[in-house]
Amino acid sequence: MHVKVQEERFEFGREAEAFAAGCAGAGAVVTFTGVVRDADAGGLVAMEIEHYPGMTQKALEKITADAMARWSLADALVIHRHGRLEPGEQIMMVATAARHRVAAFEAAEFLMDYLKSRAPFWKKEILENGSASWVEAKEIDEEALTRW
Amino acid sequence: MHVKVQEERFEFGREAEAFAAGCAGAGAVVTFTGVVRDADAGGLVAMEIEHYPGMTQKALEKITADAMARWSLADALVIHRHGRLEPGEQIMMVATAARHRVAAFEAAEFLMDYLKSRAPFWKKEILENGSASWVEAKEIDEEALTRW
Amino acid sequence: MMDVVYFAWVRERIGLPREKVESTAATVSELVAELSVREERYAAAFADLSALRVALDQELSDFDASLEGVREVAFFPPMTGG
Amino acid sequence: MMDVVYFAWVRERIGLPREKVESTAATVSELVAELSVREERYAAAFADLSALRVALDQELSDFDASLEGVREVAFFPPMTGG
């Protein structure tokens, strides 16, 4: 199990390759990567991600350990960045390895749903016109948790 | 959209990185990789994958195009190997890119479910004791298609 | 005259990967019946059609389908890719 | 004496990330009530509790929870990670 909270960029391909190589007996490996998009309207200049340093690592470790146990994963990885990110930069990734594909997919979706609504990160969008606004939590992200 | 049917190994990390870099505006990228496991009992020496050369590329392109349209994907990738593979080798991968995570996950699961049961590949397991047997299709893999 | 191709254990049981077949069968089922009476190995391969799949000109099809205009018929077990 | 920390727009509205608070509040709700009467910026930040989340000693909690033995209280909007 690997949980990293960091400001620096990470190399998605290298992380994915190392993760898969580390659990070759697993059969099924799923990864998810979140990328900073342009805002839907009015060009996004940057995304600023604030977090709660004392709590973040613990919260991610708890969520990841829950997924490991529930789906009997061979391994799991979570990387989440904070600080200032520009469009096209990768915000975070998760990876899961299991004997069968259904478990690997479900565990990755579970991790994403919990990260979205239970890990202490807050996103702020900085637009071209200089305005800045906190991203609001979505109802559907909260509802997604009821699946688990 | 990228569909490759090949005997050679592929580098999962490099393919994943290139795929993600090619659709940076997408927001969400999901990958799945299948790895040759040891057999549950009686050590597996190799997996031989037979395919139907005239049909394979077309069948994969059709399935991938269906996923692209249905989930409005920014991009999709399928790589599937054939020939002789040893435990630990990667058999295949899929990758999907979409604006939101639910679409990227669903499209990747759809691709996997269809690849399992509708793409013309057949796996044969070669065991340590010299015996060889064709992997039987699983009822649950056929049932998985009813979800779509 | 059409090409008939076999994969996986169907190929092994029949003992060859591909052959040319002269047939007046109108449907896949009729072709299966013609082949099955040829030799025991065909009868063995085609004994349980529920364990077989068929593709016509490289598209999945079924045993009721017409062979009119078809150039390549493929028989194989359920796929196990992924 | 406990540490009270704020994140995202709660931090911006109150105007500081962290402060020490002397309080006899037994629950989170009582602490919120005490802070809200201090100054308008607190009242503004705590106006709608349904838009807020609270963590006690770095574990998610709720507004009814007891503050007994708690050293750090955090207030913030619903999280938006991932």
What's the predicted TM-score (pTM) here? 0.95
Q: Do B122 and C79 lie within an 8 Å CB cutoff?
A: yes
Q: What is the pLDDT of residue A130?
A: 87
Classify residue B2 by burial, with Cβ atoms within 10 Å: 0-12, 13-18, 19+: middle
In this predicted model, what pLDDT tens digit does every residue of A20-70 receive, in sequence order? Answer: 999 877 899 999 999 998 766 568 899 999 999 989 999 999 999 999 999
Nearest CB among C9, C55, C82 relative to B116 is that of C82
Helix-helix angle B101-118:B53-70, to 10 degrees: 160
Average pLDDT over chain A reads 94
Q: Give the mean model confidence (pLDDT) for residues B17-32.
A: 92
Nearest CB among A14, A34, A101 relative to B13 is that of A14
3-state helix, strand, coil in chain C (%, to 5): 35, 30, 40
Chain A CB within 8 Å of residue D80 CB: yes
Please state, in angstroms and rounded to a whole number, the distance separating the CA atoms of residues B97 and B26.
6
Domain boundaries, chain C: 2-76
Q: Give the mean model confidence (pLDDT) for residues D38-56.
A: 96
Per-residue pLDDT at B39 exceeds 80? no
> Which residues on B lie below 8 Å from C59 (Cβ)?
55
> Which residues on C lie below 8 Å from B118 (Cβ)?
60, 79
Nearest CB among B16, B32, B104 relative to A12 is that of B16
Per-residue pLDDT at B23 exceeds 90? no
Chain A CB within 8 Å of residue D69 CB: no
* D71 CA: distance to closest CA in chain A (Å): 13
Please state, in angstroms and rounded to a whole number, the distance separating the CA atoms of residues A104 and B144.
15
Q: Do B24 and A11 lie within an 8 Å CB cutoff?
A: no
pLDDT band at A86; cut points 50, 70, 90: very high
Q: Give the mean model confidence (pLDDT) for residues B77-101.
A: 96
Beta strands in A7-144 (DSSP E): 28-35, 44-51, 75-81, 83-85, 90-98, 121-127, 132-134
Instruction: Give the nearest chain B residue to C60 (CA atoms).
Output: B118
Q: Give the mean model confidence (pLDDT) for residues B44-57.
A: 95
> Which residues on A lie below 8 Å from D9 (Cβ)?
134
In this predicted model, what pLDDT tens digit does every residue of C9-53 receive, in sequence order? Answer: 999 999 999 999 999 999 999 999 999 999 999 999 999 999 999
Per-residue pLDDT at B114 exceeds 80? yes
In this predicted model, what pLDDT tens digit does every residue of D7-36 receive, in sequence order? Answer: 999 999 999 999 999 999 999 999 999 999
Beta strands in C1-82 (DSSP E): 2-6, 18-21, 53-56, 59-61, 72-76
- Assigned fold of C2-76: Ubiquitin-like (UB roll) (3.10.20)
Tokens found for residue B61: 């392109």
Q: What is the pLDDT of residue B11?
A: 96
Chain B CB within 8 Å of residue A111 CB: no
Instruction: Give the nearest chain A residue to D74 (CA atoms).
Output: A52
Domains defined for chain A, CATH in brackets:
2-145 (3.90.1170.40)
